[in-house]
Amino acid sequence: MKSIGKYMIFLSRTVTDMEPWHVYVRLFIDECMRIGISSVYIVTIISTFIGAVTAVQTAYNLVSPLIPKSLIGTIVRDMTVLELAPTITAIVFAGKVGSNIAGGLGTMRITEQIDAIEVMGINATSYLVFPKILAGLVTYPLLVIMAAFLAITGGYLAATLTGQVTAVEYVYGIRLDFVEFNVFFMLIKSVVFAFLVTSISAYMGYYTRGGALEVGESSTKAVTTSCIAILLSDYLLAQLLV
């Protein structure tokens, strides 16, 4: 409970005593590049192969002749939109971006750079953390949208090239009984996950104490705590919104 209270105070400090907004513009753009653009490559690879594997495994298990082959596209679509794109990408996001944020802030803390910023009369929490959280909230939903598209495309390529289903059947399955709210639900998840990963990782790094060994420990704690928070929030969102 003490850690939760300290985390809440940390969050409140990120939006109080802020600098003029123009100060954050360059920081925000830099963080978007570091958090979002640098993650495109790994998200592209993982999401494409996840979609391909889902399609192949689904086709392998649909052995009954009474089940239409178009159902492969439907299953890939629903699994991707509801769970794979936002949640699996969030785990990868936590491992790559979360450890980077925690390690960067932890290094700044042990080298007394954060103390120097505070000596100059600047709210270091707001100056260093707010742009990271904002960049995560903007870029991660875009990554999830890209991941969903690539996963469905990967499933299409895997299913059609292996002869499991025709292109017409797969596309028909994607369009069958489509629920628009699922896409909205996916975006809600992406915003929540982005906030959790960036804020928890920043919290872990900001309060690092010690030396280089403790920086590594903070990065590890940031990733593990973020993953746990992602899974818990995923369950709660499913209970509340589905």
Give the chain's mean pLDDT. Answer: 89
pLDDT tens sequence across 222-239:
999 999 999 999 999 988
Q: What is the DSSP string of 140-174?
A: HHHHHHHHHHHHHHHHHHHHHHTTSS-HHHHHHHH
Query: What is the model's pLDDT at position 224?
Result: 94
Mean pLDDT of 158-173: 88
- CB-CB contact of 89 with 189 (8 Å): no
- CB-CB contact of 190 with 144 (8 Å): yes
pLDDT tens sequence across 42-90:
999 999 999 999 998 888 887 777 778 888 889 999 999 988 899 999 9
Rounded CA gap, 6 and 10, in Å? 6
On the question of pLDDT at 242 being above 80, the answer is no
pLDDT tens sequence across 179-204:
889 899 999 999 999 999 999 999 99
Tell me the whole-structure pTM to 2 decimals: 0.91
